[in-house]
Amino acid sequence: MPVPFETDPMAGILQPAAATAGPAAEQAGAVLIVDLGAIRRNYRRLRRELGGAECAGVVKADGYGLGAAEVAVALTREGCRTFFVAHVAEGIALRRALGPTPEIFVLNGVPPGAEPEAARSGIATVANSIEQIDAWRKAAARAGLTLPVALQVDSGMARIGMMPADVDRLAADRRALQGLEVKVVMSHLACADEPDHPANERQRRRFEQLAARLQENGPPTARMSLANSSGIFLGPAYRFDLARPGAALYGVNPRPGHENPMLPVVRLYAKVLQTRRVEAGDGIGYGHSVVAEGPTRLATISLGYADGWHRRTAAAAWADGIRLPFVGRVSMDSIVLDISGLSPDRLKAGDLVEVIGPHQSVDDVAAAGGTIGYEVLTALGGRFHRRYEDADRDMDGRDGDRT
Ligand SMILES: *Cc1c(COP(=O)(O)O)cnc(C)c1O
């Protein structure tokens, strides 16, 4: 695979046609590149896996930190028409970006008091309790509208969603859903990334039972939805009518322990602030947690825990295919690298080194920090210069091949 940034990391970054966000590249300490074309290909890949089932896009937490509007617009171009966010404010912002057509569901449910604004904005709640259904029904009556709703049942995760007793109450009361149009009946899997975990099958059966009870009362048009990214790979029985992938769209491996079927989506390059040479006995960084054993060349890069690079993530940076290990502690705004492996004049202030990219995936960074790719992505900071690439679109905005 060609690695365009190996020798000249700025070459692609200054492309004029690209959409950007955040501070200008010259001002920023690091450059985050989001490959929307890869997100689109990942969406197609999931759709292939899903056969005929619909594929939604989960763009909560600002599209897992990558930009909800940019991601959702790219997915819309692939035919995606159903989106999930976590918060009402995320839904309202997304509605502005997408216009009136796509469905937007708020996974955490619309909180008490926020119903009128949510209804006006064309946001659908994921009702997780009888109280949320009641409040949503009242909002519908006040607005004189039929409001869309998704009903979430707890099939065995004990996190959010209606309990079996709530489902019984709903099934017994025909008026409970008056003024509401049930678009989706859904639940969430606790152990989808462990295909052999017995909870998966248990949850699937319970979901089918609870959904059947709800359908006794609701319109038959409601789509059933259980699978997140990993759930899609549990097999046809988990697909139902609508899948809700997030992480896999963004390149996180939905099948831990197996080869990643998704394409990488993000690259992160950090700027060199300074280089120096230290001698044996010199302490490096806070707490002098590392003391040089001999002459060592160091580079300090403009990336730290305030950028979402967790303090305990001892990874490396890369330049010219050479690994540049972190030395000492991660600071708020900087990290020190051992660059002894590079020729002495290779790096100077302003040069970029890879910290997420072909040599070090999001999942690699997560493993180095004892966490998951989800947390790495959603933590990526607001100080980066961001650039959106879409190799599937030509300069006139037309779509390229759709294979
Ligand atoms: C976050 C979330 C998803 C998406 O999960 P991924 O593992 O990122 O695919 C789907 N459904 C619900 C209810 C969620 O909270």
**Structure confidence by residue, pLDDT tens digits, 189-224:** 999 999 999 999 999 999 999 999 988 765 567 999
Query: Is the beta carbon of 107 within 6 A of some atom in ligand 1?
Result: yes
Residue nearest atom 4 of ligand 1, based on CA coordinates = 246
How far is the centre of ligand 1, averaged over its atoms, from the C-alpha of 244 (Å)?
Answer: 6
How far is the centre of ligand 1, averaged over its atoms, from the C-alpha of 61 (Å)?
Answer: 11
Query: Is the beta carbon of 188 within 6 A of some atom in ligand 1?
Result: yes
Q: Measured between alpha carbons, how far is residue 138 from residues 132, 178, 380 in Å?
A: 10, 9, 39
The tokens of 190 are what?
Answer: 């606790």
Tell me which DSSP letter residue 132 carries: H
> Which atom of ligand 1 sits closest to the CA of residue 247?
8
pLDDT given at position 174: 81
Contact 316, 325 (CB under 8 A): yes
Task: Flag whether pLDDT at 403 surpasses 60.
Answer: no
Angle at Cα 296 formed by Cα 294 and Cα 301, nearest 5°?
Answer: 150
N- to C-terminal Cα separation, the chain? 19
Query: Is the beta carbon of 247 within 6 A of some atom in ligand 1?
Result: yes
Q: Which of 43, 60, 64, 305 is catalytic?
A: 60
Spatial CB neighbours of 201, under 8 Å, sequence gap ≥ 6: none
Give dist(CA 54, CA 107) in Å, integer: 18
269 is an active site residue: no
Query: Is the beta carbon of 228 within 6 A of some atom in ligand 1?
Result: yes
- Sheet architecture: strand order including 180-186: 54-55, 242-243, 223-225, 180-186, 147-152, 124-127, 103-106, 82-85, 57-58
Contact 165, 203 (CB under 8 A): no
3-7, 129-133, 265-269, 344-348: the lowest-pLDDT one: 3-7
Residue nearest atom 1 of ligand 1, based on CA coordinates = 246
Spatial CB neighbours of 293, under 8 Å, sequence gap ≥ 6: 280
Ligand 1 pocket test target in 107, 203, 230, 363 with most atoms within 8 Å of CB? 107
Q: What are φ and ψ of residue 88, in 5° steps? A: -60, -45
Contact 126, 186 (CB under 8 A): yes
How far is the centre of ligand 1, averaged over its atoms, from the C-alpha of 124 (Å)?
Answer: 17
Q: Which amino acid is at 195?
A: P
Q: Which of 43, 250, 286, 374 is catalytic?
A: 286
- pLDDT tens-digit series, residues 61-105: 999 999 999 999 999 999 999 999 999 999 999 999 999 999 999
- pLDDT tens-digit series, residues 294-347: 999 999 999 999 999 999 998 999 999 999 999 999 999 999 999 999 999 999
Which secondary-structure segment (H or E) carries 211? Answer: helix 198-217
- pLDDT tens-digit series, residues 220-256: 679 999 999 999 999 999 999 999 999 999 999 999 9
60 is an active site residue: yes
Query: Is the beta carbon of 245 within 6 A of some atom in ligand 1?
Result: yes
* pLDDT grade for 138, boundaries at 50, 70 and 90: very high
Query: Is the beta carbon of 152 within 6 A of some atom in ligand 1?
Result: no
Burial class (CB in 10 A: 0-12, 13-18, 19+), 112: exposed
How far is the centre of ligand 1, averaged over its atoms, from the C-alpha of 295 (Å)?
Answer: 49
How far is the centre of ligand 1, averaged over its atoms, from the C-alpha of 122 (Å)?
Answer: 21
pLDDT given at position 40: 97
- Which residue intervals of 14-163 are DSSP H helices? 36-50, 60-64, 68-77, 88-98, 115-120, 130-143
CB atoms within 10 A of CB 18: 14
Report the b/e string of 333-361 with b at 16+ CB within 10 A. Answer: bbbbbbbeebeeebbeeebbbbbbbbbbb
Which secondary-structure segment (H or E) carries 373? Answer: helix 373-379
How far is the centre of ligand 1, averaged over its atoms, from the C-alpha of 228 (Å)?
Answer: 5
